[in-house]
Amino acid sequence: MKEKMRFYIKRIKEGRLQEMWKQVLWIYQYAKKYWLVMVFYTALGFVGTGIGLFTSWVSKDLVDIITGYQTGRVIQVFAIMIGTNIFSTLLTKVSDYVGSYLSMRVDAEIKSDIFEKILVTDWESLTNYHTGDLLVRWSSDASAISSGVLSFVPDLLINIFSFISAFVMVAVNDASFIIFAFLGMPVSLIMSKTLLKRMVNNNKRSAAMGAKMSGFNQETFSNIQTIKAFDLIHLYTDRLRNIQKDFIKMKLEFQRMSIGTSLILSTVSMAVTYAAYGWGIYRVWSGAISYGSMTMFLGLSSTLTGALHSLTGTIPTVISLTTSAGRLMDIVEMPREDYSHEEEVKGFMEKNRTNGVSLYMNRIAYAYHNGNQVFSDASLEVHPHEAIALVGPSGEGKTTMIRLILSLMRYQGGNAWLCGGDKTPDGAGVDKVELTPSTRKLFSYVPQGNTMFSGTIAQNMRNVKEDATDEEIIEALKMACAWEFVEKLPDGIESEIKERGGGFSEGQAQRLSIARSLIRHSPILLLDEATSALDVKTESRVLKNIMQDEYPRTCIVTTHRPSVLTACKRVYAIRDKGCKVLSEEEIKDMMTGE
């Protein structure tokens, strides 16, 4: 007893109970939204339990009539039994249909809510998780929560109701049978304790292994071209088999333990059942009860035992639910992005739609979570109808600067402003807003690599501007020098784009990405190595079209290609954790490779 107390005190000190309580409260935030659904499920369970008990009672009368213990009413009792069974069957089918609908609806709503919360989670924090792990948490763990929200409380109440009602029926008719319902209770409690310890560990291992397998599969299929190019098929096939072996080994370990536990419980259950049969036969032989009463008591004893087993299984269910809740809380309780400036930014955008927008980054400092200092004193500025370039060696901070501008990452020193027209942020009466996640609607962004979505060309364009007309789409494609190949396609702008831009060359996909950014008509355009797959001539035409457009667009380009620099008003070199404006001579040296 002392050892048990020490164990529970240790667990309390370790904070496991407090952690579980916090997870239960988190689940409750969803459960309280669906209390009417839970009431409905509980009511159906109560009705089903009542029908089962009533059927037991009717069966008793029918058996007594058949065995001659009672006489008469056989047709009436038989009709009642048939009617009860028909009603029970219809109720089961209706409740299954309604239950499936409600279950799918709640599952969809909870997943939708968690999906949205993941999307507004701080981007830098989110990158600590593998995409496969996020998918498993969103799909499997969210489904576990939705299922638990609907079933846990109703099942608990139904089992309690089932136990109490069966207990009362047995006690009223022959209390001696009650003891058989409790005979297996000590064994069930011991087995539940054993399962509890194993289950906590197994749930965590299973979730981690599921995430690992999902991540491996997702990454493999996303990079199948690279795997083929390096002839890595056998390597990745062997890796999958090794992961599968680990997964099977883990599952079999738990299954062996479950089988052993199940055998013990089944043996105890059979012993209790046969003991109840023996006692029932003795009571019938002694004339204390009828044969019909014995069959009713045996059925009710099974009901009592089943309800008790279900109630003792509540703890493992709670463990499973709280484990899933904890995995989701890890994600959705990370820092959220601040979208509280939406209205302010909308007003700023409307005021400056015709004047354009300037960007000022003043003495920006930023370091990654691992302590790597990228910027300590970085400043730059760019105005409407201007383009600036960010240059520098790979890994020095060009893409990081773009992410800071987009507020995907938050600078830790300095300040950054968007100002109306070509005004400076410290001028009198200047219309300005600070960079926040809300200001992203003022940007169009073309990142490195192929970022087209599966669907048609037109659908990709309308992803960023829902009401774009075919004429607007074609005009954007012309500016990006993409119309010259799109118009030759059999379906034109309705041509299908496969996953990751499949069906188009890298250069074509880049031009489609640029067209998508242009159709949005955002005041500021960010091109992150966006022309790297274009030939010099096409690149020059695209940049010329962008800069000659009458729309007051502000453009920022990151590049390794000197040919881009001729289209830029200023060139900033990222050096010594800052941004230095290059002189014309330095730019010429870069272009000549000196």
327 shares its domain with 347: no
Domain boundary (332, 354, 380) is at 332
The tens digit of pLDDT for each residue in 179-191 reads 766 665 565 556 5
The tens digit of pLDDT for each residue in 517-528 reads 999 889 999 998
529 shares its domain with 583: yes
Q: Which domain holds residue 102?
A: 2-332
297 shares its domain with 367: no
State the average pLDDT for the chain.
81
Q: Enter the pTM of the model.
A: 0.73
420 shares its domain with 386: yes
User: What is the total count of domains within the chain?
Assistant: 2
Specify if 264 maps to a domain: yes
Token couple for 229: 């190019």
243 shares its domain with 381: no
pLDDT score for 403: 92
* Cα Rg of the chain (Å, integer): 35
Q: What is the CATH number of the domain that holds 180?
A: 1.20.1560.10
Specify if 515 maps to a domain: yes
156 shares its domain with 291: yes
Token couple for 78: 């038989």
CA–CA dist 25, 402 (Å, integer):
39
300 shares its domain with 355: no
Buried b (16+ CB within 10 A) or exposed e, 481-515: bbbebbeeeeebbebebeeebeebeebbbbbbbbb
35 shares its domain with 58: yes
Specify if 126 maps to a domain: yes
CA–CA dist 194, 506 (Å, integer):
57
313 shares its domain with 353: no
346 shares its domain with 435: yes
Specify if 337 maps to a domain: no
pLDDT, one tens digit for every residue, the chain (594 residues): 455 445 444 544 455 667 778 888 888 888 888 888 888 888 888 888 887 777 777 776 666 666 665 555 667 766 777 777 787 778 777 777 777 777 788 888 888 888 888 888 888 888 888 777 888 888 888 888 888 877 788 888 888 888 888 778 777 777 777 676 666 556 555 655 555 556 656 666 777 777 777 778 777 877 776 677 777 788 888 888 888 888 888 878 777 777 776 677 667 767 776 777 777 777 777 777 776 677 777 677 777 777 766 776 676 677 778 888 888 888 888 888 888 899 999 999 999 988 899 999 999 999 987 778 899 999 999 999 999 999 888 778 888 999 999 999 899 999 999 998 888 777 777 888 999 999 999 999 988 777 788 889 999 999 999 999 999 999 999 999 999 999 999 999 999 988 777 788 888 989 999 999 999 889 999 998 887 788 888 888 888 888 888 888 999 998 877 778 888 889 999 988 999 998 888 888 877 765
Could you tell me what percentage of the chain is helix, strand and coil, using 3-state DSSP and rounding each to the nearest 5?
65, 10, 20
Q: What distances in angstroms separate CA 412 from CA 269, 336, 370, one per listed residue?
A: 65, 17, 14
170 shares its domain with 234: yes
87 shares its domain with 175: yes
Domain boundary (306, 332, 358) is at 332
Specify if 203 maps to a domain: yes
Q: What is the CATH number of the domain that holds 484?
A: 3.40.50.300
The tens digit of pLDDT for each residue in 52-106 reads 777 777 776 666 666 665 555 667 766 777 777 787 778 777 777 777 777 788 8
Buried b (16+ CB within 10 A) or exposed e, 90-111: eeeeebeeebeebbeebbeebb
